Amino acid sequence: MNGFPGSHDSDLYEESSALDAATENRAVVNDGVPDSQAHSGTVSQSSSVSEPAAGAALAPATAASMPQSSPAPAAPSSVVATDGFRGVVNRLARTKLRATGAEVARRAAAEQAAADELAVRSSSWTRCMRVLVANRRGGVGKTVTSVLVAAALASLRGSGVAVAEFSDEAGGLAGRCEQPPVRGVDTLLARLVSAGGADGAFVYGNGQVQSSMATMYPTVDPDREPFTGPDVHSVVEALAPLFSTVIMDTGNGYRSAAFTAALGVTDVVIAPTLAGPDAVAGIRDLMNRLAGLGEHGRLLASRVIVVVVDDGRSVLSHREVLDELAVLGIDRSRVYAIPFDAHIASRGPVVFSQTTAASKRAWLAAGAAVAALLGAIDFDEALLEPAAVTASISPATRFEEPAPAPDPGPDRATNVFPHSVFQRKAN
């Protein structure tokens, strides 16, 4: 089963005939898809999916693998109006006028948001889980994704979510914090290196707590030295006792020591992208990188969640984006679309409560998918023998990148995904 989760003011897949023309923004239409499938964000591969209207975002839903889901909404013809003029008439005259498509959409959106909130709150894990945010292309929303996924989780789960900046050089996390930071990941690392460790109060005090309750660890010194692999390991180990989730905001180099170390200890990968060929190509490079990392890379490839951020300059339709990602083995049920949000596009501090309602719902849906996946991973680990679980999370058994394979020669492809949809079209 395939679906395309994302974000939209109407927040559901529906038959176009079910929506009033007065609906401000249309949801994506899945022609011929049963209501139960449409609401859960899943459609069969044979189902046709029409393109959204110009400027419309993609309809949200929780990930197909999530255990929680809200019931399918009733067909508009059977929903009794409770809002607006029709709702007033129904209450006064005790009639049963049908709800408009706009009302049905609003109610379904509220149900879906409630299901996503439940998924975030009810998913649980018993160790510090690490989430890597990666795309080697700059300007695709890695830092924004790190901040807002953390905000979606922390606003519902409490203060147990941290974001650490592990880019080779100073990145943009400091500029996205609600207040200019005075301490951060580099000041924490300095103490860890000089003193051989730090107590919990010092570790926590080097972060900046946001209004969402997420804690940021940005770079304070713009001239700091590039992080090494041991640097990343030291910071992750220091954060683990204090936070149930550590989101790692990375840079643009897939071969750097910092990225390789973060990749080696991560549980889930979030790949943000814009709706453009160059940005999506960064995900193809990421999947190629994972393909060369043996069993650990294969496992991570099955745990990639893609976030398509609309920066107001999108040049591709959602169908083209999905086709491109399908070539990489990324199912549409793992793709989430974020509508344009002027607050995010301002490139200043990001405050979760100041994002638009549609944007907030979209980030919540993506956060719900992450939370459900982390819970599933922890559950799978719990089924292993205790010794195997201990070995899988022990710092002494960190993933090591395998030695590079011999050059296959000019007659063999070196990339698992060497060509994109767009390259094939050009040919």
The tens digit of pLDDT for each residue in 343-389 reads 999 989 999 999 999 999 999 999 999 999 999 999 888 776 544 43
CB 303 within 8 A of CB 269: yes
pLDDT: is 189 or 317 the higher one? Answer: 189
Q: Cα dist. 33→4, 30, 36 in Å?
A: 13, 6, 8
Identify any residues that bridge with 272 across adjacent strands, giving them in sequence order: 307
Q: Is the pTM of this model over 0.85?
A: no
Q: Specify whether 23 is located in the same domain as 168.
A: no
**61 domain-assigned:** no
Residue 403 is assigned to a structural domain of this protein: no
Looking at 122, 142, 163, which one is the last position of a domain? 122
What is the helix (H) or strand (E) element at residue 418, kind and residue range? none
Residue 318 pLDDT: 84
Confidence of residue 40 (pLDDT cuts 50, 70, 90): very low
Q: What is the CATH number of the domain that holds 132?
A: 3.40.50.300
Average pLDDT for residues 12-29, to the nearest whole number? 31
pLDDT band of residue 278 (cuts 50, 70, 90) is confident
Tell me: the pLDDT tens digits for 185-221? 999 999 999 998 899 999 999 999 999 999 999 999 9
**76 and 133: one domain?**
no
Q: Are residues 198 and 137 in the same domain?
A: yes
**Residue 43 within any structural domain of the chain:** no
Same structural domain for residues 159 and 242?
Answer: yes
- The pLDDT of 142-169, averaged and rounded, is 95
Assigned token pair, 131: 């989430």
Model confidence at 167: pLDDT above 50: yes
Alpha-carbon distance of 275 to 346, in angstroms, equals: 19
How much of the chain, in percent, has pLDDT values that exceed 70?
A: 72
Asked if residue 421 is part of any domain, the answer here is: no
Q: Is residue 348 part of a domain?
A: yes
Q: Quick one: average pLDDT of 228-242? A: 96
**Residue among 77, 73, 63, 71 at smallest CA distance from 108:** 73
Q: Looking at the predicted structure, is the pLDDT value of residue 390 above 50? A: no
SS3 252: coil
Q: What is the pLDDT of residue 317?
A: 85
For 348, the enclosing helix (H) or strand (E) is: none
Q: Is residue 287 part of a domain?
A: yes
Percent of the chain residues past pLDDT 90, beyond the cut:
56
Give the pLDDT confidence score for residue 409 in this predicted structure.
Answer: 44
- 304, 271 contact by CB (below 8 A): yes
* Structure confidence at residue 37 as a pLDDT band (50, 70, 90): very low
Least confident residue range of 14-18, 56-60, 145-149, 164-168: 14-18
Q: Is residue 273 part of a domain?
A: yes
Check whether residue 173 and residue 291 sit in a common domain: yes
User: 205 and 345, same structural domain?
Assistant: yes
User: Per-residue pLDDT for 243 more than 90?
Assistant: yes
256 and 369 both lie in a single domain = yes
For residues 208 and 77, membership in a common domain is answered with no
The answer to whether residue 417 sits within a structural domain is no
Q: Supply the range of the domain harboring residue 83.
A: 8-32+70-122
Check if the beta carbon of residue 340 is closer than 8 Å to that of residue 312.
yes
Phi-psi region of 298 (alpha: psi -120 to 50; beta: other; left: phi over 0): alpha
Residues 254 and 319 in one domain: yes
Q: Are 375 and 244 members of one domain?
A: yes
| 177 and 77 share one domain | no
**Number of domains, the chain:** 2
- Same domain, residue pair 133 and 203: yes
Residue of higher predicted confidence among 83 and 131? 131
